[in-house]
Structure 1
């Protein structure tokens, strides 16, 4: 069945149902309530949150990235000294670094490209350029133009959109494929070294090729000086293990899984490909977590709560911390209010828009959990028009390294 816009899916629920799931979770006391809200991406009914500003996300991103790097270096020094139990500390350092990298990319760099970080080009643009050079992602100036022109506005979720290109070319998914086949192809892709090598090369090319000569020379010079210093001091193994590794394969795994939940594909039965009802239907929130156990007593009830907490901490928290970082859980709010000056408080600003009746836009929709959210997108692609979403149509579009589309 279709609603004329996107394929319906039982995992997609309205705000009332989403609120019922969140309100049933523990919310007593400030120690638990706020962390659980930022984990899920959904406030409980009536909750008020802190007023975050852009500077908070900039600082948190860099502190996390550099703090994780320091933690990884400390753990690696312990491992080299024969302290084997430092292994989980090294993994934790990678995770903290990756979290910071992804927050800088998905929020700070992204908002700077929209000229909406601090809405001051004298600050937004240099910071965006620095982040692009540090993370080796698409040249900031090119990204700013392509993201707004091809991912927003009339080209959203057409073959001009880099999200669509990454699905059809990079992941080799297509309309008509079953959900199971798409899952299998993505999972195999994520452990394919050829894919990661092409992805990394695409990132490097997307940074250097469009950049100005001055940017290329400065970036290459800085990296050369760092490389010489690392070799000279003998710290190059630390750089490879503690910096290059999380910046490549784990970063690209996170990025690819994030890609798979960004937007649903429109149904072939959609009457019109314009208007707020149409564009609003292509993006939903991805809340992280699941319904809490029903009230009860006894050891069975305790076991159910223990299982719930275990899944929240061991399954849903990594999904939030490493994949759906920052405001990606509320990406639907960004597409409705891309120039909102209150974007830094994304969780509570989205809820305020819901409570205010989201004027001019259709009802918000959401999915609980990363895996169900990916399945919703796969189902929508499976039902999409194969004539519209074809590799041949993308092949007619020139001027883009298709692997750069993964990092849009």
Structure 2
């Protein structure tokens, strides 16, 4: 089987291995290490897992939404300098919403949140009612049958359809052209309006009566309170800004790192080697400054490293590569693993054990590199195999809702 060269090489010779990059950060205090692992997506050698639970992830996501709304509301109502609180509130709200969608909703679709069908279903039905995304029943069916099966990264896969139809990207297009297309869409009001309409339609079409009732209850109550308190501006700024444009920007960027396309000369589309080659980890961060420099050079090096970590990699992790996105390759190898609660450490444990029965793991460091990897794979894909005309037109109206897997 032939795939992209970058998929068959876990680390290029011109850069440090993933473990070396992460281990370089162990010179920092011990209390920094778990936050650094959660940020980078990579444990340091020998690091013990924190033993998280499904309830922790659910509570953390809900708390992030609540706190974010409260912070944004405080900033809006106080005005003045307090308006600077708005971005922090939006960020926390977006982070919580994305974790509800990417981690909690996703695990519920696999009946793997708590492993109790009724409870997982109840949570799975509640989240679309709040976020106005594809309804739980339809998502669960399409996700398992078309994304986690032989149709993975074929025209049957909603991820591929979203790339070709919603983003308008094509095989044979250059990396630069793809970047231009995506960046233009991210700032396009028409794109965001289409996306929002598709979300509403995808939620409403086929959603369970309980989902519809919950959505009507949530947004009906919000409308009544906003009208009574003359607070429609507050509602729009505090809730709908992170729920609509910011959510959709995060969603789109995350789509662009999800999976690579099989190349045109790939002849065998079965087996673990093929499917493992379609997903890779995305680690964030850069090597910590090496010791031995003069005090001034060391101070400047650490200042630069801290700026990159806090001003670039942290926002990317917190707002785009949320939940287990950084190690999504582990999920595609073990979609119903109960170790998803410690996803970063679960992947590392499998890696340390020799990834039995599977080919080696691969990774990219950084959001830009991960997007370039996906764009390059689409550029090399078979234009006949991924011909947009072969996608049924009836499915195109709601493809924005299929951006996440």
Instruction: Give, in angstroms, the shift of residue 292 of structure 1.
Output: 2.5
Distance 1:311 1:389 in 2: 37
Q: Give the one of 373, 378, 389 matched to 2:375.
A: 378
Distance in 2 between residues matched to 1:154 and 1:7, nearest whole Å? 23
Which runs of structure 2 are paired with 1:33-182 in the superposition (5 Å)? 33-79=33-79, 83=80, 85-182=81-178
Match of 1:21 in 2: 21
Distance, in Å, in 1 between the alignment partners of 2:184 and 2:178 is 10
Deviation at 1:302, TM superposition (A): 2.2
Task: Please show how residues 230-249 of structure 1 align to structure 2 within 5 Å.
Answer: 230-249=226-245
**Residues 200 and 112 of structure 1, relative CA distance in 2, 3 Å threshold:** same
Deviations, residues 10-46 of structure 1 (Å, cap 9, x unaligned)? 9962798111111112354431111101100000111
Three-state SS of the structure 2 residue aligned to 1:173 is coil
How high is the TM-score relative to the length of structure 1?
Answer: 0.94
Secondary structure at 2:172 match in 1 = coil
Change in Cα spacing, 1:390 to 1:12, as seen in structure 2 (3 Å) is farther
1:11 to 1:311, Cα distance in 2 relative to 1, 3 A: farther
Any idea what the Cα deviations from partners look like across 1:316-355, whole Å, max 9, x if unmatched?
A: 0000000001111010000001000110100111100000
- Tell whether the 8 Å contact from 1:265 to 1:381 is kept in structure 2 after alignment: yes
Distance 1:327 1:9, change over 3 A: closer
1:353 aligns with 2:343: no
Q: CA deviation at 1:123?
A: 0.7
Structure 1 match to 2:265: 269
Q: SS in structure 1 opposite 2:103?
A: helix
Question: Partners of 2:151 and 2:261 in 1: how far apart?
Answer: 13
- 2:6 corresponding residue in structure 1: 8
Equivalent pair of 1:11/1:372 in contact (CA under 8 Å): no
Q: Which runs of 5+ in 2 are unaligned?
A: none
* Shift, 1:391, TM fit: 0.6
TM-superposition CA deviations, 1:125-156 (whole Å, max 9, x none): 01111111001010001101001111111010
1:291-332 Cα offsets, whole Å, 9 max, x none, are 223333222232122111100100100000000011110100
List alignment gaps of at least 5 residues for structure 1: none
Task: Give the aligned length.
Answer: 402
Measure, in 1, the Cα distance between the counterparts of 2:73 and 2:121. Answer: 31
Alpha-carbon distance change, 358 to 400 in structure 1, aligned in 2, over 3 angstroms: farther
Q: Which runs of 4+ in 1 moved over 4 A?
A: 9-12, 396-400
| Cα distance in 2 for residues equivalent to 1:49 and 1:222 | 37
For the 8 Å contact 2:10–2:361, the answer to whether it is kept is no
How far apart are the structure 2 equivalents of 1:397 and 1:106? Answer: 26
Q: Aligned partners of 1:16, 1:357: CA distance in 2, in Å? A: 20
Mean Cα displacement is larger for which, 297-306 or 151-160? Answer: 297-306
RMSD: 1.9
TM-score (norm 2): 0.95
Q: Take 2:394 and 2:157, find their aligned partners in 1: how far apart are those partners? A: 11
On the 8 A contact 1:7/1:383 being kept in 2, the answer is: no
| Contact 1:109–1:131 (CA under 8 A) maintained in structure 2 | yes
